[in-house]
Amino acid sequence: MSQQHESVDLVGDETVKYFTTAVLLAALTAALSQISIPIPGPLPPFSLQPFGMFFAGLLLGPLWGGVALLLYLLVGIAGVPVFSNGNAGLGYVVAGQGTGGFLVGFLVGAVVAGAIAHRSTEPRDLGDISVPVQVGALVAAVAVVYAIGVPWLSMVTGLPLVRAATVMAPYVPLDLVKLAVAVVIVEGGYLASR
Amino acid sequence: MLSYRPGSSLAHRLDPRSKLLVQFGLAVAAVAYPTLPGVVAATAVGLTALAAARLSPLAVLRSYRVVVAVLALAPLVAGVALGPPWFRVEPALRSALYVGRVLPILFVSAAYLVSTPVRETRAAVQRLVPGKPGQLLGVGMALVVRLFPLVLADVREVRDAIRARGGERRPVWVRARLLAVRSLSRTLDRSDRLSLALRARCFAWNPTLPALAFARRDYPVALLGVALALSPLARAFPL
């Protein structure tokens, strides 16, 4: 066994704080993905999963928010049943039932939401960011999720793009409800106090 | 669901990096060749992977039954037409071919899940992503695996508490808000405690790394992964 004889290089306090928040938000995204209502048909289940993306983007900014969702995906790929309905594996993310694009979309969505809200890799205090900007960040995140998820679904299942979009259409109102709930949480100042 | 089972099959003895490469390569190749020979070849690779992990294809189909059932609907949705003849065979067949190539991807992925403990994937990520980012991702994965059951228990507890107070009579958006906010605040409390605990234990950039080594048997598997990942080039530049 080789041994290292250098001095210990401690991780900075700020970095530890962002890192542990990213770790816990990854675990929260995984937990919220399990609280879902499966709907029959070639449709993804209705879940509280997007809240992981919303919180990661708003609380952690583009860099650490992205790390949180990346950790979520990596742990799922490693075999922990963290995707909805207890699924796991790289095969589920790439192909699965065609909904893998939404998982990747959550990662990109968190980065986009964080970039719009914080405009720097270092997260700012949410109390300093106006509510319309935060709401805009969440709307953009949802748009990004669909922009990646629908073409991905079409590519995996061989459905034409328009038909893939039709299949996903019933989910738009559900996601608008989730978006509205997230806006209420932002406006209520539940996040700014953290 | 499929999860790691200790064993001594060929797949168990391979390095996680070569196994990841094959999964990635097969996914690229299967997406690039949505043709019947392509699907047959990919299925052969998938079944070989299952044999290497001593896993029955039926067990895989059983554990992914919801996914497979949903996928089976895609050709029907693709074939339905909004006027006579109401069902068109050609787009349905095309969709069936697309769906058919998903199975081998699931097979290879299942072989990986059964033959690879999480800590090996973590070590592979840490080796593949260089420097500090790789280190944080590696430690982060280990911590998420550890904390996921606790956070899941927190969320379920919050859900039960809302239910116990007659929450089911309240509109869905109110319940969703309560559940999200309460779960988040518990999660952030855990984060504060974890951050304190890590700093108290001298969380450092240079701890001793887990051991990983490519054996001779890994090289052909890694080569197969690279060849599959590059196979679309053969179509772009025919000899």
Q: A110-153 pLDDT, tens per residue? A: 999 999 999 988 898 888 888 899 999 999 999 999 999 999 99
> Which among B144, B126, B44 has a CA at the least distance from the CA of A26?
B144
Rounded to the nearest 10°, the torsion over CA A10, A16, A22, A26 is 70
CATH number of the CATH domain containing A152: 1.10.1760.20
**Looking at residue A96, what is its pLDDT?**
75
Averaged pLDDT, B91-97: 85
What are the residue ranges of helices labelled H in chain A? 13-34, 50-77, 90-94, 100-118, 131-157, 161-168, 171-187
Q: Across-strand partners of B204?
A: A10
Give mean pLDDT, residues A5-11: 75
Please report which helix (H) or strand (E) contains residue B97, including its range. Answer: helix B89-100
B112:A23 CB<8 A: no
Residue A6, pLDDT > 80, answer no
Q: pLDDT per residue over A58-76, tens digit each? A: 999 999 999 999 999 999 9
A183 domain residue, yes or no: yes
Average pLDDT, stretch B16-29? 90
Task: For residue A50, give the nearest of A172, A190, A188 by alpha carbon.
Answer: A172
> Does residue A55 lie within any of the structural domains?
yes
List, in order, residues 6 or more apart from B57 with CB less than 8 Å away: B47, B50, B107
Instruction: Identify whether A99 is part of a domain.
Output: yes
Using the predicted structure, report yes or no on whether residue B84 has a pLDDT greater than 80: no
Size of interface A-B (CB pairs under 8 A): 247
The chain-wide mean pLDDT, for chain A, equals 86
Q: Which range of residues forms the domain containing residue A82?
A: 15-34+45-187
B80 CA to chain A: closest CA distance, Å?
A: 10
Q: How far apart are CA A169 and CA A82, in angstroms?
A: 25
Q: How many beta carbons lie within 10 A of that of residue B181, not counting itself?
A: 19
At a CB cut-off of 8 Å and minimum separation 6, what does A180 contact? B173
Residues 88-127 of B with CB under 8 A from A: 91, 94-99, 101-102, 105-110, 112-113, 116, 118, 121-122, 125
Nearest residue on chain B to A183, judged by CA atoms?
A: B177
Highest mean pLDDT among A13-17, A34-38, A166-170: A13-17
Check pLDDT > 80 for residue B206: no
Residues A109, A146: Cα–Cα separation, whole Å: 10
Residue B171: pLDDT band with limits 50, 70, 90: confident
Number of domains in chain A: 1
Residue among A27, A35, A71 minimizing CB distance to B137: A71
pLDDT at A127: 82
pLDDT interval class at B158 (50, 70, 90) = very high
- pLDDT(A163) > 60: yes
- ipTM for the predicted complex comes to 0.87
CA pair distance A90, A109, nearest whole angstrom = 20
Tokens 């949480």 locate to A185
**Model confidence over B181-194: pLDDT tens digits?**
999 999 999 999 99
In a domain, A85, yes or no: yes
Structure tokens at A18: 């962002």
- Cβ–Cβ < 8 Å for B109, B118: no
pLDDT band at residue A187 using 50, 70 and 90 as cut-offs: confident
At A194, the pLDDT band (50, 70, 90 cuts) reads low
| Residues of chain B contacting A38 with CB distance shorter than 8 Å | 66
User: Cβ–Cβ of B206/A25 closer than 8 Å?
Assistant: no
Q: Which of B70, B125, B145 sits opposite A97 (nearest CB)?
A: B70
pLDDT at A75: 94
Mean pLDDT of all residues belonging to chain B: 87
Q: What are phi and psi of A120, to 5 degrees?
A: -170, 160
The pLDDT value recorded for residue A61 is 94
